[in-house]
A = this chain, B = another copy of it.
């Protein structure tokens, strides 16, 4: 997201302080009320240092949340593969349900989502940097399932992922229902029925 007029002279220390302060403020006061001035003050940084490297408040917030995942970049995104697609997916979906229940997770992701909804540019970055890698890992596991005859060989994997995850995400986002392990199981079962081979 940096404008990188040069980048070589950029203070990494300030950059980290800004991102950390932003994350802290999101947790404390909520996304809407995070102020650039507060970030600068908290980070011990001049406002200009923020404006030099980020084009908007949304971009800073976005980057600060993105940075969380980048820490785990080297991490193995690969899904478990026991040979039993249904069992593996249920494990992953139950983990996702648990993750959504974590209050530390709540505010930043709601902030990120609100940002993404209203800014097409950030939406593109979100897809490229966050969603795509994760989705590719999931699709890799689904392809394994196709090879093992547990999933229709001609299934549109993007569609399968949507059928699996979108109901869960929507329920969380709109608080329209409880997120339980059973719900995770039910989604996996429905998706596998929908894309059963042959």
Interface set of A (CB-CB < 8 Å, partner B): 30-32, 110-111, 113-114, 116-118, 120, 123-124, 126-127, 131, 156, 158-159, 162-163, 165-167, 169-171, 173-177, 186-187, 190-191, 193-196
Contact = CB atoms under 8 A, between A and B. Distances in A.
B123 A175 contact: yes
A30 B118 contact: yes
Centre residue among A31, A114, A193, A196 by max chain B CB count within 10 A: A114
Q: Say whether chain A's binding surface is mostly helix, strand, loop, or mixed.
A: helix
Contacts of A176: 123, 127, 131
A162 B158 contact: no
A158 to B, nearest CB: 7
A173 to B, nearest CB: 6
